[in-house]
Amino acid sequence: MSDYNQFYVRLIRIFIFLFLIVKSNDAAENLSPGNCVQTFSSDVDYFPSKVTETFALVQCGTPVPTGLPAGTKVFNISLNNVAIMDTSVVPFLEALGLRSHITQLGSSFVSSPCLQALISNLTIISSSNMTLKSEQLSKVDAVFDSMFNLTDPKTIGISAVSDPAPLNRAEWIKFYSAFFNLEDKANSIYNQISDNYNCLKKLPSSSNPPTVAWVSYNAPSSFNNNTASWVIADAPYKKILTENAGGIYFNTTPLMYSTSSSFLSAIANVDILIDESFIARDISEVYSNFNLNSNDAQYKFVKNSAIYREDGVTSPSDGRDWFESAVLFADGVLEDMMNVVNPNLPTKDYKRVWLRNVAKGEPIKTAAS
């Protein structure tokens, strides 16, 4: 079932993790990562752990309906002024033509050039002064935030970046549109993205697919007891994206390593590396993070200069568009990934947007106002 295909009812009830129907029987808890259902039953809800919010979207000028469930958050629509606490919301509202409705931001690390140009006219919400923050947020109609607050009547919990598939993430545009009476526009935008994505994924060949590992390095810090770690990603949307692009998604056990040698041993046969480490501006920093050097030709991703990063488009303040536009434009991300897997796709002269080949010295593009 689509996430939010019941927009025209007055009451929207949202179960995060894509389930709108509660089954008669519940599993004890959500399955842990890597585990699958062994014996399927249509009577079992396999996602019993949910965050539940109920929104009543009331057309402005009409009365609030009576008999709403306890805890229902009531919004008069269309919303006029909103605060954005998570920058992944920005491209969705911009695509809907709602940039002018964004009046407050939780951070200045936004990659949208057009919104950067408006920063001086926007309120940056205080993160240290709670009294000031409360005063600031009292001036908006709603707050879009990835931190769920079930008791705050203005907070709308969002989690597009946690959705398990590229097109699922894009489909959140339908959710945002409901608060602005723009469902038709959202459906049109999503259908274009979906149609293009599904057309593109027919292009890759199934012969000799390369193996792709999404990895990261966590430097020692006060947040991890000053202990470094090397991690192999296990995100469903990355697996789907890799496979739709014609590659093999690398997955193994364990996913986290305490030494670089054990980590490198685990990825020894990987063809392509996508480095998601927070900091690594150039290949020398990548090599340093993973204790590699240019002479380590036993690793195919080193020998073939097949190391990529997601920081291809970044704002002057290091706000990465991978966490903004790439969340919505699943078809564009698939094009990038296809080109990583096969340089001749989707076309021979295709220029990647987000995924830059750091091993070949491809520069970071600055998204400036």
More confident residue, 71 or 286: 286
The yes-or-no verdict on residue 46 having pLDDT over 90 is no
The answer on 103 and 132 residing in a single domain is yes
Measured CA to CA in angstroms, residue 356 lies from 42, 309, 360 at distances of 44, 5, 9
User: Which CATH number fits the domain that encloses residue 143?
Assistant: 3.40.50.1980
Number of domains in the chain: 2
Reported confidence tier of residue 314, pLDDT bands at 50, 70, 90: very high
Q: 197, 213, 234 — which closes off a domain? A: 197
The yes-or-no verdict on residue 4 having pLDDT over 50 is no
Give the span between the Cα atoms of 362 and 239, in whole angstroms: 25
**Range of the structural domain that residue 318 is part of:** 201-366
pLDDT for the residue numbered 28: 61
Interval 109-120 mean pLDDT: 91
The answer on 249 and 105 residing in a single domain is no
Q: Is residue 242 a part of any domain in this protein? A: yes
Q: 165, 197, 229 — which closes off a domain? A: 197
Reported confidence tier of residue 45, pLDDT bands at 50, 70, 90: confident
HSE (CB half, 13 Å, CA atoms) of 228?
14
Instruction: Give 243-289 pLDDT, tens digit per residue.
Output: 999 999 999 999 999 999 999 999 999 999 999 999 899 999 999 99
Q: 197, 221, 252 — which closes off a domain? A: 197
Interval 69-98 mean pLDDT: 96
The answer on 177 and 117 residing in a single domain is yes
The answer on 218 and 193 residing in a single domain is no
Q: Is residue 159 a part of any domain in this protein? A: yes
Instruction: Give 16-36 pLDDT, tens digit per residue.
Output: 333 333 334 555 666 665 567
The answer on 323 and 218 residing in a single domain is yes
Interval 143-155 mean pLDDT: 92
Reported confidence tier of residue 237, pLDDT bands at 50, 70, 90: very high
The yes-or-no verdict on residue 200 having pLDDT over 80 is yes
Lowest mean pLDDT among 145-154, 246-255, 278-287, 358-367: 145-154
Asked if residues 44 and 27 have their Cβ atoms less than 8 Å apart, the reply is yes
Q: What is the pTM of this model?
A: 0.86
Give the span between the Cα atoms of 214 and 332, in whole angstroms: 18
The answer on 210 and 340 residing in a single domain is yes
pLDDT for the residue numbered 43: 82
Give the span between the Cα atoms of 192 and 196, in whole angstroms: 6
